[in-house]
Amino acid sequence: MSNLQENFSFAGVSCGLKLSGKKDLGAIFCKKKALTFAVFTQNSVAAAPVKISKKRLNKNKFIRAILVNSGNANAATGIDGFNDAIEISKNFSDLIGIEEDEVLLASTGIIGVRLDKSKIISKIPALVDRLTLNNHLDFKESIMTTDRFEKEYFETISSKECGGIYIRAYAKGCGMICPNLATMLVFITSNINADEKILKEMFINCVNKSFNAISVDGDTSTNDSVFFMTDMSCPENTINNREDNLIIEFEKALNRCCIKLANDMVRDGEGSTKILEVRAIGFANEENAKKVASNIAKSTLVKCAFFGSDPNWGRILCAAGNTNLIDEDSVSIKIFDTEVYNKRPINFDKESLSKKISDNERVIIEIYNNSGDKSFTFYGCDLTFDYVKLNSEYST
């Protein structure tokens, strides 16, 4: 790992957007042009940075930098907010010496308050200077809002042709989390040199199985973005075969990365105490399995039951039935390894199962159908008093 050469550098500073004085302005910079993909929130009220980044990626898929701020979402701020973001971007690109369209933007924080661009612009020189120090710790802090802990991932894949293929990723997100995407920002960098279509397909597949398979509270936000950047430096010759061993191993690692970060967001769900891992098994197609699993994970009644360590299978069955994709006479339900329903109620040790739920941070819920061989896993969390408290005090 110490011999691995990375062309990406990271930095973070405080510019005063957060009243706490914590770092709130960050940047990622690549020494060379990086092939870049991204997926963005599908909320129709998309923030200015999302609109700008989407437009730039549509014209140019080779990016040099991402500029990020926390503490203010720059969402629902109209043309003024859009122009503020453009001006900030221009200042950054001019100072760092790259084209304006080579910079993507990301913001997170309070919605509907105009961004104080002067605070950001005044700190851009310090931010650019700190990029030379490549301070990952500062960057991680700069993207956080109500997160309780930092979310990161690093893995290397051995390669005889170069020093190794790596994945480095940082993320933020803990509330307003629900597909398709939500208040999350994810930044993934790598050095893999592979066909553009292959990489994009892998990236989308991994996002769909992770960041688009989680829910904290059923709300989809205005700013959320997942970025993937690679400088394409390893191996020397571009991999064009989808069955190449390096590509197969890379996809597995990227999937591990995305699922780990997505689970971190659910685990950090505002006030949450448990991850709910809902597995829908035995469906005619993956889409149906996902609908059933997501309905269970997003059910307010299910979330409340597991906060109280109550193995209330009736709420699980009800949430699944709301999809009109299951029949009570053809399904079975397990909580952990305890079957609680199989076409009819089953006697089980409720006290013992309740204690197991109470003792574990992750609760496994499985619903089995008899209509096919497709499955999908969706991740959610419990609903707690702290969630209500946190969000009742969070100003727009």
Judged by phi (left if over 0) then psi (alpha if -120 to 50, else beta), residue 332 lies in: beta
Which residues, at least 6 apart from 304, have a Cβ–Cβ distance to it below 8 Å? Answer: 382, 383
Under 8 Å between Cβ of 43 and 184: no
Q: Which residues pair with 279 in a beta bridge?
A: 366, 377
| Angle at which helices 117-131 and 78-96 cross, to 10° | 30
Q: Are 324 and 371 in contact (CB under 8 A)?
A: no
Handedness of CA 73, 206, 259, 326 (dihedral sign): positive
- Reply yes or no on whether 183 is catalytic: yes
Q: Is residue 46 within 8 Å of residue 222, measured between CB atoms?
A: yes
* Residue in 146, 183, 377, 384 annotated catalytic: 183
Q: What angle do CA 69, 202, 131 make, to 5 degrees?
A: 30
Closest CA to 102 of 6, 30, 40: 30
What distance in Å separates the CA atoms of residue 336 and residue 194, rounded to the nearest whole number? 40
* Distance of alpha carbon 266 from alpha carbon 263, whole angstroms: 5
CB atoms within 10 A of CB 122: 13
Please tell me whether residue 351 adopts helix, strand or coil conformation: helix
| CA atoms of 73 and 106, how far apart (whole Å) | 8
Going along 240-337, which residue ranges are E strands?
Answer: 275-283, 332-335
User: Among 231, 323, 301, which Cα is nearest to 33's?
Assistant: 231
Q: Quote the CA–CA distance of 242 and 120 in Å, as a whole number.
A: 43
Residues labelled as active-site residues: 183
